[in-house]
Amino acid sequence: MNDSTRSYSPSVVVIILLGIILALLPMGSRGDAQSEEDQRAWVGALDSLSSERMLTDVRTLSSPVFNGRQAGSADDLRSAQWVAQELTSAGIQLPLIDNKGIAFPSTGAGKEEPVGIMASMVSTPLIEPDPIVRTGAADQLVTAQLGKDYLPVFDSPSADLQGQVVFVGYGIVDPAQGIDDYAGVDVKNRIVLF
């Protein structure tokens, strides 16, 4: 995959847009007592949203600069600090946590040590030399190449397994919206791909 030509599906863009809208919602709604000034600010914030801006932010967070953002890593902390800085720049006040500091108090200060909710680092596992991933029917296995055909996710332990793979779209189950990607799919004793 060429990093400079990534494309995002419309559903990903919609999810990102909804996330930004939810982030912009006021923390304490005042209902009818909301002033006209607040209304204008809200409309202005909504008008400033654009798919180009959202894609720029997604590209930034998914760029090699943050090295995958594994949970608990220094790259995860830096990406969280970047998001906190973007929210602060937009005038959004970050929430307080138990130690009375903001969730990411080192934003912009260059501090790389985890604080507050990220009190301990998780070391990044290493990939063994020449890892092997084979896919296909037992008599027609195809060997995938690291980096070209797949990138491992470090959040799971290594495993040697074989089984039937079933695809479930995004794996979403939302009865309120009438979405069930698992409907009619037998996942028992199978590897679920989404």
Q: Which of 89, 123, 153 finishes a domain?
A: 89
Domain membership of residue 131 (yes or no) is: no
Q: Which of 89, 106, 125 finishes a domain?
A: 89
- Which pLDDT belongs to residue 135? 80
Number of domains, the chain? 2
Q: Does the model's pTM come out above 0.75?
A: no
- Which pLDDT belongs to residue 1? 45
Domain membership of residue 145 (yes or no) is: no
| CA neighbor of 20 nearest in space, from 59, 41, 46 | 46
By residue range, what is the domain housing residue 192? 163-194
**Alpha-carbon distances of 79 from 57, 104, 193, rounded to whole Å:** 11, 11, 27
For 72-113, write each residue's pLDDT tens digit: 677 887 888 888 888 778 777 766 544 444 344 444 444 444
Q: Which residue has the higher pLDDT, 165 or 76?
A: 165
Using the structure block, give the residue that is written with the tokens 């794996």.
171
- Which pLDDT belongs to residue 105? 45
Q: Which of 89, 112, 128 finishes a domain?
A: 89
Residues 166, 190: contact at Cβ < 8 Å?
yes
In this structure, what are the phi and psi dihedrals at residue 64, rounded to the nearest 5 degrees?
Answer: -60, -20
- Which pLDDT belongs to residue 193? 86
pLDDT at 126 over 80: no
For 43-66, write each residue's pLDDT tens digit: 777 777 788 888 888 899 888 888
Mean pLDDT of the 107-130 span: 52
3-state secondary structure of 74: helix
Q: Which residue has the higher pLDDT, 190 or 113?
A: 190
- Which pLDDT belongs to residue 49? 77
Average pLDDT of the chain to the nearest whole number = 72
First to last CA, the chain: 19
Domain membership of residue 97 (yes or no) is: no
Domain membership of residue 192 (yes or no) is: yes
